[in-house]
Amino acid sequence: MLPDPLLLQLFAAVSMTTVGLPPSEGREMASGGEGRLLSVDYEVFGKVQGVFFRKHTQKEAKRLGLVGWVRNTERGTVEGRLQGAEQPVRAMQAWLRAKGSPRSRIDKAEFSNQRPADRRDYPDFQVVK
C-alpha cells in the first residue's frame, strides 16, 4: 500500500524545518544542506603579494564552496572575507595560515569579525583589484 499523499507532504514540510534555529538558518540548511553558515574576515602577512596569492586563494575558496573576496592592501598584506559552511571555512583558515600559493611565504594570518551568517552575501569568490 502506498503512503497517503497528504502524509508525504506533511513529512516533507517537517523535514524542511530545523528545530531550535532561526527561520533563516533553517532555510539555508534545507536549501543548501550545508549547516551553519559563518562569515570571517582575514589578513595574511608575509610574502603574499606578487606571488599569485590572490589567484590561489580564489581557486581554493571556490574548491571548498566558499564565497567572498580577496585583495592586496597598501601594507603589503592580503585581506578578505570568507563565507560558507563552518567546516569549509575552517579548512580555508588552515590553508591561509600554512599553505597559500606555491611561491608565497606566510608569516601569520589573522582572523576577525567571525560571526554566524543568515545567508551568503556574495554570489561567488572574487579577486578585488
Question: Catalytic residue positions?
Answer: 54, 72
CB 128 within 8 A of CB 69: yes
| CA atoms of 72 and 51, how far apart (whole Å) | 11
Cell of 56: 590561489
Q: At what angle do helices 53-63 and 86-98 cross, to 10 degrees?
A: 150
* CA distances from residue 38 to 14, 20, 77, 91, 116 in whole angstroms, order as listed: 25, 18, 23, 12, 5
E strand segments, the chain: 37-47, 67-72, 78-85, 105-116, 125-127
